[in-house]
């Protein structure tokens, strides 16, 4: 049975790698605004001037891995896609911890939803598929048989279920209002804030349960709470998704941002771009 599953996984891996490469190159070609690429995927971990080169390099690697699966019959080559997706799984997990406001960039700017467990799960599923292909020593597209077809359908269904991009596609089909123009009651955003890890991390220092100020900028709702030491904690809650990104900074009595980890202020500013 494992050989059948591996035979079904091979075309899924090839198509996924090819689509990812095409989407990344298309994103580079139509960069909507300066710095947009630097808010996608692992490009956020490097200087902005290298973001375009990183996106192109990742696309070329994906094309090369797709070609390897199709034509290279060597044990080491067959395991390269597994290594690629395993590294991608770790990077996405790290991004979710360090920069929960950025998208994975897996399919270019289509993948701009903040990294969540679904994106990480998809990368892990692709890693498992790659391991099966490597273990079974398959090369080239197999003939689709009655036994393989259901497994291909199941694999595709699994990846679609783990793809947050599908939500955006369905939203566009329904002609939903863009996030920037979509009404969102402050109470709902406040409830999401109180369910977040950022809130739990700062709750002990807050002096009030209700915000002293709040406002909205594009897809973000901001809340200000008084804190100990004449300080204030400013929370930013993204208004898209059921588990939105939440950022927090502490502003001291002198008006300066207190960022013990050295990144709180920068990450909040980058996650809330506002045009005049």
pLDDT for residue 156: 92
Q: Does residue 179 carry a pLDDT above 50?
A: yes
Q: Which residue has the higher pLDDT, 116 or 48?
A: 116
Could you give the 3-state DSSP secondary structure of residue 105?
A: coil
For the chain, the domains span 2-173, 180-271
pLDDT at 94: 87
For position 158, what pLDDT does the model report? 93
Q: What share of the chain is helix, strand, coil (3-state, %, to 5)?
A: 60, 10, 30
H runs (alpha helix) in 99-116: none
pTM check: above 0.85 = no
Question: Mean pLDDT for the chain?
Answer: 82
Q: Is the pLDDT of residue 14 over 70?
A: yes
User: What pLDDT, in 10s, does the model give residues 134-149?
Assistant: 888 887 777 778 888 9
Q: Is the pLDDT of residue 22 over 60?
A: yes
pLDDT at 259: 55
Mean pLDDT, residues 142-167 taken together: 87
Structure-token match 């030491």, residue found: 229
Answer whether residue 159 shows pLDDT above 50: yes
Cα–Cα separations (whole angstroms), residue 44 to 47, 112, 165, 219, 249: 7, 12, 19, 20, 19
Are 132 and 1 in contact by the 8 Å Cβ rule? The answer is: no
Check residues 173 and 134 and name the one with the higher pLDDT.
134
Half-sphere exposure of 94 (CA within 13 A, CB side): 11
Whether pLDDT at 264 is above 50: no
**pLDDT more than 90, % of the chain:** 27
Q: Give the pLDDT mean for 1-12.
A: 88
Higher pLDDT, 90 or 267: 90
């Amino acid at each position: 049975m494992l050989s059948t599953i591996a035979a079904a996984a091979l075309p899924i891996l090839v198509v996924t790698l090819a689509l990812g490469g095409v989407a990344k190159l298309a994103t580079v070609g139509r960069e909507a605004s300066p710095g947009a690429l630097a808010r996608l995927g692992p490009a956020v971990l490097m200087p902005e001037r290298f973001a375009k080169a990183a996106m192109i390099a990742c696309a070329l690697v994906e094309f090369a891995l797709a070609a390897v699966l199709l034509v290279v019959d060597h044990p080491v080559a067959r395991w390269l896609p597994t290594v690629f997706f395993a590294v991608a799984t770790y990077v996405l997990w790290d991004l979710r911890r360090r920069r929960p406001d950025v998208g994975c960039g897996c399919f270019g700017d289509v993948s701009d939803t903040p990294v969540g467990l679904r994106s990480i799960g998809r990368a892990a599923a692709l890693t498992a598929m790659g391991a099966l292909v490597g273990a079974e020593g398959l090369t080239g597209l197999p003939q689709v048989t009655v036994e393989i077809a259901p497994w291909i359908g199941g694999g595709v269904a699994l990846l679609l279920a783990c793809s947050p991009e599908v939500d955006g596609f369905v939203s566009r089909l329904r002609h939903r209002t863009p996030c920037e123009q979509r009404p969102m009651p402050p109470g709902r955003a406040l409830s999401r804030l109180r369910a977040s890890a950022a809130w739990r991390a700062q709750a002990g220092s807050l002096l009030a349960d209700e915000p002293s100020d709040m406002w909205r900028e594009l897809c973000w709702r901001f809340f200000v709470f008084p804190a100990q030491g004449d300080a204030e904690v400013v929370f930013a809650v993204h208004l898209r998704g059921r588990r939105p990104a939440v950022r927090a900074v502490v502003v001291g009595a002198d008006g300066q941002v207190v960022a013990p980890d050295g990144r709180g202020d920068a990450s909040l500013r980058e996650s809330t771009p506002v045009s005049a």
